[in-house]
Amino acid sequence: MAEQIQNYTDDNIRTLEGVMHIRMRPGMYIGRLGDGRNPNDGIYVLLKEIIDNSIDEYAMGFGKQIQIDIEDNHVRVRDFGRGIPLGSVVKAVSILNTGGKFDDKAFKKAVGLNGVGTKAVNALSKDFYVCSYRDGECSWARFESGELKEEGTGETKEKNGTLVEFFPDAALFRDFNYNLDFVESMVKNYSYLKKGLTLVLNGTPYKSANGLLDLVNENLSEEPLYTPIHLEGEDIEVVLTHSNNIGENIKSFVNGQYTSDGGTHLAAYREAIAKTLKDFFKKNYEPQDCRQGIVGAISIQIQEPTFEAQTKVKLGSTYVWEKPDKGEHGQTIRSFINDFLAKNLDDYLHMHPDIIPVIEEKIKANQQEREEISGIQKKTRERNKRTSVYNRKLRDCRYHYNDKLTEKTQDDIERSSIFITEGDSASGTITKARNANYQAVFSLRGKPINCYKESRKKVAENEELNLLISALGVEDDLENLRYNSIIVATDADDDGMHIRMLVLTFFMKYYPDLIRRGHVHILQTPLFRVRNKKENRYCYSIEEKEKAVAALKSGVEITRFKGLGEISSDEFRDFIGEAMRLDLVKLADEESIADIMAFYMGDNTPDRQKFIRENLRSEEELEDIDI
């Protein structure tokens, strides 16, 4: 070690040219890599970067259609905008900090502003091809892993616009596949936000006539209490209604970009809804009572938005426009949204008196339920504190209590996670194996109650679930969530699967927005260890096990893991490290939470029995191992 330190010389200093920095540090540009099982995985960010450019062309008044084709993970995006200036095609897709969006005369309210997006797609693709068509001429270039291989110019009969084709590099995105459900959701959002634009995904067109109103109406899983309110102004569009669902379900967008983690605009919208309703009724209702059960959406257009990460899922801008170098800025986003709702929502309510009692009745019902539940939860928490149960159940991470980590970066926030597991054995294994800087562990005692079958009062009295709520920090507001990832980690046996279902039922019924925002995951742990004298392989399915047996050939020993406690902490460290396998718990907006819980957690029915027979492997099948 001392010799290595002494050998630190000029030769150790490296300058990464061109796009090599992107390939070596992809997380700085696209967030997580992933394999396509999570809608925030890198392959979808690559697709979004290309589509965003085409969207920006439409926003500037050029091109009414975008064609998107994905086949065998090969992506093709063709727009009919102005096309990249022919002499700048190679520079625009390969030289960092180069692009037309630094010039606000060409792109006034674009999503991509830092000259990185397309370059990241190029650098992280095994093959990348771009062709610009302008007034009968074209300029094209082909790259491999960001390196230019061919380029040329010529004449063309194609309409003006830009064609981009790419294939993500399998060396970076291992075993990846595009989930077309995620892509379809992305395309639909674009269509809602850009009325008049047609996006064609694998031959299917998507177009919206009513913008965000279509988004809300088409995704309502429960009957709204009143017709959704649709308000439009310069650079702002909002929709809102109430339902009897628990929580808030508000989609937010900036310059056509879906901000799944919200940001300053969503915070301002939530505040403005509550303030406007309180002022209208002239009563000091609590903000959460005004928003409980709300379904809505907000879209704003601002100049040069600042996002808290390159993936653009959370807005960080404070002002609708800003010139920091000159110390100049416009109206704050908060006052812009508050002023708009204060006038337009107030006007709407005065013009539609029939919905006024419906809204106030909903607010009062929320208030009554909150006060009743809050009192019960307070007593439960006080009882828990007296018995010090909380400290025994949560093993927190240094991210929350170490002074050295008080300055939390976006990377720190995204890495923070909490494992929810059951029993001392599993909890002990994960605690020993975890990264204590960012990974916390919460231990359940046995099976939690089935929230589907119990009243909310009964759930509020439950010690285990109250302690979990406290650990997550969401007693008062989901915005106070202490961890980015909530990971359900249970044994791979019948009891483990049942506990998993009970925990997910709790989140689905009382905190569905945690699922909608992509915070809830299921930890995949290996079912088998296949080894010989030279090598260990961990397998997550019967198919993987069979391949491992064939590869290792003679002298193979197979172990079937049933409980997390059976896996040593040294082995388990690999399963919750950088290569951790997580299944995202997904909940489409149009899916009825009540229907889902009734099917999976209600009375046993022939339909559910049929589903189980068709989809679950039997324990006997897993046990039937050919050694």
- What mean pLDDT do residues 325-332 have? 81
Per-residue pLDDT, 156? 94
Residue 384: predicted pLDDT: 56
How far apart are the C-alpha atoms of 326 and 434, rounded to whole Å?
A: 47
- Res 570 pLDDT > 50: yes
User: What is the percent of the chain where pLDDT is above 90?
Assistant: 38
Residue 613: the pLDDT is 67
Compute the average pLDDT of residues 542-555. Answer: 88
Distance CA 182, CA 177 (A): 11
Q: How confident is the model at residue 405 (pLDDT cuts 50, 70, 90)?
A: very low
Q: Per DSSP, what are the bridge partners of residue 561?
A: none
> Among 311, 124, 314, 295, which Cα is nearest to 224's?
295
Residue 74 pLDDT > 90, yes or no? yes
Q: What domains are defined for the chain?
A: 20-204 (3.30.565.10), 212-366 (3.30.230.10), 388-525+567-593 (3.40.50.670)
Q: Rounded distance, CA 530 to CA 537, Å?
A: 5
Per-residue pLDDT band for 312 (boundaries 50, 70, 90) equals low
- Of residues 485 and 39, which shows the higher confidence score? 485
pLDDT at position 113: 40
The CA distance from 72 to 91, in Å, is 29
Residue 477: the pLDDT is: 80
Residue 329 has pLDDT above 60, yes or no: yes
Measured CA to CA, the distance from residue 519 to residue 496 in angstroms comes to 21
Q: How far apart are CA 11 and CA 467, in angstroms?
A: 54
- Flag the least confident range among 91-100, 330-339, 525-534: 91-100
Asked if residues 227 and 217 have their Cβ atoms less than 8 Å apart, the reply is: no
- DSSP string across 472-491: HT-SS-GGG-S-SEEEE---
Q: Cα–Cα distance between 392 and 387 in angstroms, integer?
A: 10
pLDDT tens profile 80-91? 999 999 998 998
R_g (Cα) of the chain, nearest Å: 26
Please count the residues of the chain: 627
C-alpha distances (whole Å) from 49 to each of 30, 115, 389, 505 are 10, 11, 48, 35
Q: Looking at residue 593, what is its pLDDT? A: 72
CA-to-CA distance for 25 and 46, rounded, in angstroms?
15
Structure tokens at 333: 């986003």
pLDDT at residue 612, rounded to an integer:
67
Pair 464, 396: CB distance under 8 Å = no
Three-state DSSP at 97 gives: coil
Say yes or no to pLDDT of 547 above 60.
Answer: yes
Mean pLDDT for the stretch of residues 378-394? 60
What pLDDT was estimated at residue 340?
96
Distances in Å between the alpha carbon of 115 and those of 53, 562, 612?
11, 49, 50
Predicted local distance difference test score (pLDDT) of residue 102 = 41
* SS3 labels along 190-227: HHHHCCCCEEEECCEEECCCCCHHHHHHHHCCCCCCCC
Is the pLDDT at 352 greater than 80? The verdict is yes
φ, ψ of residue 61 to 5 degrees: the values are 95, 20
d(CA 395, CA 427): 9
Query: How far is the C-alpha of 97 from the C-alpha of 613, rounded, in Å?
Result: 55
The residue type at 584: L
**Band of the pLDDT at 290, cuts 50, 70, 90?**
very high
Q: What is the per-residue pLDDT for 60?
A: 86
Q: Which residue reads 């279902």 in tokens?
A: 501
Confidence of residue 388 (pLDDT cuts 50, 70, 90): very low
Q: What pLDDT is attached to residue 403?
A: 44
Q: Is residue 268 within 8 Å of 318, Cβ to Cβ? A: no
Q: What pLDDT, in 10s, does the model give residues 574-606?
A: 888 877 888 888 876 656 677 777 777 777 777
pLDDT in tens, 86-122: 998 998 898 875 554 444 444 445 554 444 688 889 9
Q: What is the pLDDT of residues 437-448, one digit of tens each?
A: 889 999 988 788
| Count of Cβ atoms closer than 10 Å to residue 447 Cβ | 14
Compute the mean pLDDT over every residue in the chain, rounded to the nearest whole number: 83
CA angle, 96 then 102 then 104, to 5°: 160
CA separation for the pair 459, 205 (Å, rounded): 45
Strand partners, 253: 258, 299
Residues 216-237 pLDDT 10s: 998 887 789 999 999 999 999 9
